[in-house]
Amino acid sequence: MAWATWRCWTRAIPLCLGLAIARVGPAAALDVGFDDLPSLSDVANATLPGVSVSTALVLSETDAVALGYPALGTFATSGTQGLLNTLAPAVTFTFTAPVTSFSIDILSLARDGVTLPIQLRAFGGGPNPISSTTSDPSRIGDSGYHEQRLAVAAQPGTLFSSVDLVALTGCGGSLCPSTETSTFWLDSASFTPVPEPGSMALLGGGLALLAGLGRGKGGRS
């Protein structure tokens, strides 16, 4: 009976482990757009999957045109709405769970003929960024403005708890975060959260059980 029970368990455990591995495999990226939110509202008041966003203006292309931007059919990269940093110079995305990567479409709005580069910075919980990338203002999209998709990926042993975006301006021969607002448009954010802790525990428990059964078989007389 003991041998039959052991054979039954050894047949069932691989199936359970397979399900656990599937759950703790690479997490699917979460894509966040802003078309379901009211135009001219503050995104900080919105409920979004896996992330909260600091104060920024949700804006439709139609309302952007009314504000003087030639946005119709050219600003948004998914749907017809995006975010404008009208309410604060920087826009911060804070994740519900740590993430391994983040990407987003940016559009830099020229001021007096000057196009500012946009910097994406990723943070691991401390005050200093652990990864960053800066846009190339020479890349012009169909809007006639500088457009680019910015992306950061965590190095091994690190995770991102938040990211922010800010325009850069000249200061003393270098570039510093701009204090101006309405300098860039954002759309089509995407990020990859780490596997759920419960899934990791399930996999660890399954491996421990399988190891115990193996020891039991080895000791059978």
Q: Is 221 helix (H, G, I), strand (E, B) or coil?
A: coil
**pTM (predicted TM-score):** 0.80
Separation of CA 144 from chain center: 26
Mean pLDDT check: name the lowest of 8-17, 90-99, 117-126. 8-17
User: Tell me, what DSSP letter sits at residue 38?
Assistant: P
Q: What is the pLDDT of residue 45?
A: 98
Say which residue the tokens 């600003």 belong to. 75
Residue 202 structure tokens: 């399930």
Angle of helix 197-218 relative to helix 2-24, nearest 10 degrees? 150
Measuring CA to CA, which residue among 75, 40, 27 is closest to residue 192?
27
Residue 163 structure tokens: 């990211």
At position 147, the amino acid (one-letter code) is E
Mean of the pLDDT values across residues 4-18? 48
Q: Is domain 27-194 in CATH 3.40.50.720, yes or no?
A: no
Task: Work out the mean pLDDT of the chain and round it to a whole number.
Answer: 85
Reported as a single tens digit per residue, the pLDDT across 40-99 is: 999 999 999 999 999 999 999 999 999 999 999 999 999 999 999 999 999 999 999 999
Reported as a single tens digit per residue, the pLDDT across 150-170 is: 999 999 999 999 999 999 999
C-alpha distances in Å from residue 99, one per residue of 46, 133, 148: 20, 17, 22
Phi-psi region at 205: left, alpha or beta (left = phi > 0; alpha = psi -120 to 50): alpha
Q: What is the pLDDT of residue 128?
A: 97
Q: What is the pLDDT of residue 195?
A: 78
Q: What is the pLDDT of residue 12?
A: 52
Mean of the pLDDT values across residues 177-201? 85
Render 102-158 in DSSP notation, one character per residue: EEEEEEEPPBTTBPPPEEEEEESSSSSEEEEEE--TT-B-TTSSEEEEEEEEPPTT-
Give me the residues paired with residue 3 across strands.
none
Please answer whether residues 17 and 206 qualify as being in contact, where contact means their C-beta atoms are separated by less than 8 angstroms: yes
- The Cα–Cα gap between 150 and 75 comes to 16
